């Protein structure tokens, strides 16, 4: 219990948090007791604290095995800002720098050291660790051990050596993504048979999931960004390096700061682009799946996919990089039939054995099923990870706009018949051309213009037919033979449909909706706080620049938002802000308090009224008249009066002062309102008529609010 008490003290004094989240306390207790743990916790759930706090409470140095240089750098920067003695050893260092860190390790001067698995497995490093007092081993991104996974790293499978050579040192393996097969493999490969397993919910309730048709994906992406993320940081995933560079350039041409990232770029360019993404606001990174694992940027507001991920695990892992701070974020995807063909071709051409290829094929089928789903997407994602959700989430496209379905039986039979009558030798574009009655040389040479299905599909567009074929593939009625250039083949599942024993409903194709000018993005900052919000962000950016670290290493957005809410004016009050520990209080407390003091909040704006009311009050406080406020905000004058009436009703404004009424006029209106109060139950029209229209409804509403 003494160690647990110390752990809670470290949580508050160093990290600035009052309580543990999820199962952090139980995990930390397990390590403090000297036992092993396997932890499955969603991105943003606080995995790093599960080993950082025990590392600071137990004697010795904690060794963190991490697959990415970027993750090591970020974590060490953040810990050093808190006054923790932490370091890393990786290929980015010079020989002298590496020797210096090794000496710190041997001298017992480090609380944590971050090492890549390749480095850890070197005989020299294992011998060196054998000479040190070790607090624990933390194996981060533990799903990399799985040969069936999307981030497989062969070196991870050799990490069972830690149990063999350091059997008395507790180990913790952590991941955000692992189905049952992967969990079993982590336990087996890392020799964690005696470990306590902690499985937290896979749900990321702050992420909104949406998947759309893949035609015109660039335009759809731009509509999505314009409507929801005009200035936000985000990640756009593409399948190929060429597409990454094309989309990054195209977004740059549209005026966004967009940078490419893929394995084919020079290492220096990748590092520079990654650093800009981490340290600047509003940067979009366009990347292959080579980017993202371990990226600790909390304010990524969206992840967009312009191609289909190869599995639900990959999709969950990649979309999970959005909204690490717990604020609202979007996972958006546009996918098409060509994605399915390309991914199946990748699997077919790989050097994997047949068993592995079958697993990959099954994972892709599950991903296709998620895309073509007509029910709640979140429920389907959670079910994939063996987690049941009782009700629909209300936070995905299918819940908010349930897709229409139609009886596609007859059209599906035409499509399947056309595939059959062309000997199952052709791809989807050729089959659609036949259905559409297209007379080209190839169709005529093959005699397919004489087929009974030729021209039977002219009542639909080619885009609608592609939607039908995509769904038939996803539902298992049609397969793609990648060995024959994507030829469509019928499966046994087709038989009852073709015989007339079964009907089939499909998702109705919907034309893309043009974006409206207004965004439905939730406003996180009150209008009256926006000036201070930008000032605090600018101060944070300046301090981070001086220190050479990303801004969120100084303070997360959530901490700045608490400062806005409470506006601390003493160090004691600043210490109560979540995320402000002792070190950060000493380093930054006075600077942030001074900035807050420059932006005092007037009594009028220190309220709990709605954002739109406060936008009006901000302009009123500046001395603008009611008609000018209406023009400035492009709203009606009656709406301005309604906003002012709300402020009058809660005592923030005086009606006579707002309306410019003399005492006699005010009393006349009050008496008239009171005379009608019982009979008319608050209606203003009788008052307006009795006063012969001398005062408009807005004036009457404000006077009534003052009573």
pLDDT tens for each residue of 228-261: 999 999 999 998 999 999 999 999 999 999 999 9
Distance CA 561, CA 563 (A): 5
Q: Is 351 helix (H, G, I), strand (E, B) or coil?
A: coil
pLDDT at 519 over 50: no
Reported as a pLDDT band with limits 50, 70 and 90, residue 513 is: low
Q: Is 139 helix (H, G, I), strand (E, B) or coil?
A: strand
pLDDT tens for each residue of 524-578: 788 999 999 999 999 999 999 999 888 989 999 989 999 999 999 999 999 999 9
Distance CA 632, CA 51 (A): 53
Topology alike, domains 405-507 and 611-706: yes
- Give the whole-number percent of the chain exceeding pLDDT 90: 58
Reported as a pLDDT band with limits 50, 70 and 90, residue 150 is: low
Distance CA 183, CA 51 (A): 19
Which segment, 173-187, 289-303, 627-641, is predicted with the most confidence on average?
627-641
* Per-residue confidence (pLDDT) for residue 69, from 0 to 100: 76
Q: Tokens representing 78?
A: 């953040």
* Per-residue confidence (pLDDT) for residue 549, from 0 to 100: 87
Average pLDDT on 154-181 reads: 90
- What is this structure's pTM? 0.80
* Per-residue confidence (pLDDT) for residue 42, from 0 to 100: 85
pLDDT mean across residues, the chain: 89
Reported as a pLDDT band with limits 50, 70 and 90, residue 25 is: very high
For residue 35, count CB atoms less than 10 angstroms from its CB and return exposed for 0-12, middle for 13-18, buried for 19 or more. Answer: middle
**What is the signed CA dihedral for 160, 163, 169, 170, rounded to 10 degrees?**
60
Judge whether 136 and 163 are in contact, CB under 8 Å: no
Kindly report which listed range (171-180, 266-275, 353-362) carries the lowest average pLDDT score. Answer: 353-362
Q: How far is CA 240 from the centre of its chain?
A: 22
Q: Which CATH architecture has domain 2-199?
A: 3-Layer(aba) Sandwich (3.40)
Q: Tokens representing 191?
A: 């020799």
**What is the signed CA dihedral for 334, 338, 344, 349, rounded to 10 degrees?**
-120
**For residue 258, what are the β-bridge partners?**
284
* Per-residue confidence (pLDDT) for residue 305, from 0 to 100: 96
pLDDT tens for each residue of 435-473: 999 988 899 999 999 999 999 999 999 988 988 998 888
pLDDT tens for each residue of 97-129: 999 999 999 999 999 999 999 999 999 999 999
pLDDT tens for each residue of 401-424: 998 888 999 999 999 999 999 999
Query: How many Cβ atoms are within 10 Å of 359's Cβ, its own excluded?
Result: 16
Average pLDDT on 617-643 reads: 93
Q: How far is CA 431 from the centre of its chain?
A: 38
pLDDT at 328 over 80: yes
Reported as a pLDDT band with limits 50, 70 and 90, residue 149 is: low
Beta pairing class for 505-507 and 405-407: antiparallel
pLDDT at 148 over 60: no
Distance CA 285, CA 282 (A): 10
- Give the whole-number percent of the chain exceeding pLDDT 70: 96
pLDDT tens for each residue of 84-105: 999 999 888 889 999 999 999 9
pLDDT at 517 over 90: no
Domain at 611-706: CATH code: 1.10.10
Q: Which of 140, 120, 153, 159 is nearest to 55 (CA)?
A: 140
Distance CA 236, CA 688 (A): 57
Phi, psi for 225 (deg, rounded to 5): -65, -45
* Per-residue confidence (pLDDT) for residue 1, from 0 to 100: 66
pLDDT at 353 over 80: no
Kindly report which listed range (245-259, 495-509, 670-684) carries the lowest average pLDDT score. Answer: 670-684
Kindly report which listed range (114-118, 483-487, 588-592) carries the lowest average pLDDT score. Answer: 483-487
Radius of gyration of the chain from its Cα atoms, rounded to whole angstroms? 31
Q: Determine if residue 681 is left, alpha or beta; phi over 0 gives left, psi from -120 to 50 gives alpha, anything else beta.
A: left
Instruction: Tell me the CATH number of domain 405-507, given options 1.10.10.10, 3.30.479.30, 3.30.1490.190, 3.30.70.1230.
Output: 1.10.10.10
Average pLDDT on 326-341 reads: 88
H-assigned helices in 298-407: 312-319, 337-349, 354-371, 377-384, 397-400
Reported as a pLDDT band with limits 50, 70 and 90, residue 521 is: very low
Distance CA 144, CA 178 (A): 10
- Residue extents of the structural domains in the chain: 2-199, 207-400, 405-507, 527-597, 611-706
Domain 527-597: state its class: mainly alpha
Domain 207-400 has CATH 3.40.50.300: yes
Q: How far is CA 182 from the centre of its chain?
A: 23
* Per-residue confidence (pLDDT) for residue 520, from 0 to 100: 42
């Amino acid at each position: 219990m003494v160690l647990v008490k110390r752990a809670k003290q470290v949580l508050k004094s160093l990290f600035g948090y009052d309580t543990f989240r999820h199962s952090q306390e139980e995990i930390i207790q397990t390590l403090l007791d000297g036992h092993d743990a396997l932890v499955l916790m969603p991105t943003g759930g606080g995995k790093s604290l599960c080993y950082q706090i025990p590392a600071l409470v137990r004697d010795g140095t904690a060794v963190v095995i991490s697959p990415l240089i970027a993750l090591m750098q970020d974590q060490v920067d953040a810990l050093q800002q808190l006054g923790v003695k932490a370091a890393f050893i990786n290929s980015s260092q010079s020989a002298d720098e590496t020797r210096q860190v090794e000496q710190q390790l041997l001298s017992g001067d480090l609380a944590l050291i971050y090492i890549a698995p390749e480095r850890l497995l070197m005989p020299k490093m294992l011998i060196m660790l054998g000479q040190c007092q070790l607090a624990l081993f933390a194996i981060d991104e533990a799903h990399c051990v799985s040969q069936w996974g999307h981030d497989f790293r062969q070196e991870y499978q050799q990490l069972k050596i830690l149990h063999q050579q350091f059997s008395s040192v507790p180990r913790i393996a952590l991941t955000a993504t692992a189905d049952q097969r992967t969990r079993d493999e982590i336990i087996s490969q890392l020799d964690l048979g005696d470990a306590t397993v902690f499985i937290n919910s896979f749900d990321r309730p702050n992420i909104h999931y949406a998947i759309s048709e893949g035609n015109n994906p660039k335009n759809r992406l731009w509509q999505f960004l314009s409507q929801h993320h005009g200035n936000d940081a985000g990640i756009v995933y593409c399948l190929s390096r060429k597409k990454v560079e094309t989309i990054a350039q195209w977004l740059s041409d549209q005026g966004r700061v967009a940078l490419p990232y893929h394995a084919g770029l020079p290492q220096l360019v990748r590092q520079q682009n990654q650093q800009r993404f981490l340290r600047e606001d509003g940067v979009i990174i366009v990347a292959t799946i080579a980017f993202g694992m371990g990226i600790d940027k909390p304010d990524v507001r969206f992840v967009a996919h312009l191609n289909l991920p190869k599995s639900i695990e990959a999709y969950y892992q990649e979309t999970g990089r959005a909204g690490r701070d717990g604020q609202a974020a979007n996972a958006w995807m546009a996918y098409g039939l060509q994605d399915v063909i390309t991914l199946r071709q990748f699997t077919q051409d790989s050097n994997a054995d047949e068993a592995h290829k079958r697993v990959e094929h099954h994972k892709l089928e599950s991903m296709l099923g998620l895309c073509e789903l007509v029910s709640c997407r979140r429920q389907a994602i959670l079910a994939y990870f063996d987690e049941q959700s009782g009700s629909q989430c209300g936070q995905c496209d299918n819940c908010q706009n349930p897709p229409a379905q139609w009886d596609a039986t007859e059209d599906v039979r035409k499509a399947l018949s056309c595939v059959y009558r062309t000997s199952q030798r052709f791809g989807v574009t050729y089959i659609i051309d036949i259905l559409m009655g297209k007379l080209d040389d190839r169709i005529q040479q093959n005699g397919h213009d004489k087929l009974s299905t030729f021209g039977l599909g002219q009542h639909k567009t080619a885009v609608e037919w592609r939607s039908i074929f995509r769904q038939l593939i996803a539902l298992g009625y049609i397969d793609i033979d990648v060995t024959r250039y994507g030829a469509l083949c019928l499966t046994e599942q087709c038989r009852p449909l073709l015989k007339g024993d079964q009907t089939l409903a499909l998702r109705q194709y919907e034309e893309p909706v043009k974006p409206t000018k207004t965004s439905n993005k939730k406003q996180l900052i009150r209008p009256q706080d926006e000036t201070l919000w930008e000032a605090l962000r600018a101060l944070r950016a300046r301090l981070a620049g001086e220190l050479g670290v990303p801004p969120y290493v100084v303070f997360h957005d959530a901490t700045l938002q608490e400062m806005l809410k409470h506006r601390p004016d003493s160090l004691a009050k600043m210490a109560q802000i979540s995320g402000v520990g002792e070190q950060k209080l000493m380093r930054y407390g006075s600077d942030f308090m001074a900035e807050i003091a420059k932006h005092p909040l007037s009594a009028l704006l220190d309220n709990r009224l709605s954002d739109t009311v406060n936008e009006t009050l901000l302009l009123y406080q500046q001395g603008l008249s009611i008609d000018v406020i209406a023009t400035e905000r492009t709203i009606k004058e009656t709406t301005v009066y309604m906003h002012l009436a709300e402020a009058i009703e809660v005592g923030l404004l005086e009606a006579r002062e707002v309306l410019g009424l003399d005492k006699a006029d005010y009393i006349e209106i009050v008496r008239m309102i009171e005379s009608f109060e019982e009979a008319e139950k608050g209606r203003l029209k009788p008052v307006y008529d009795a006063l012969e229209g001398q005062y408009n409804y807005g004036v009457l509403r404000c006077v009534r609010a003052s009573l």
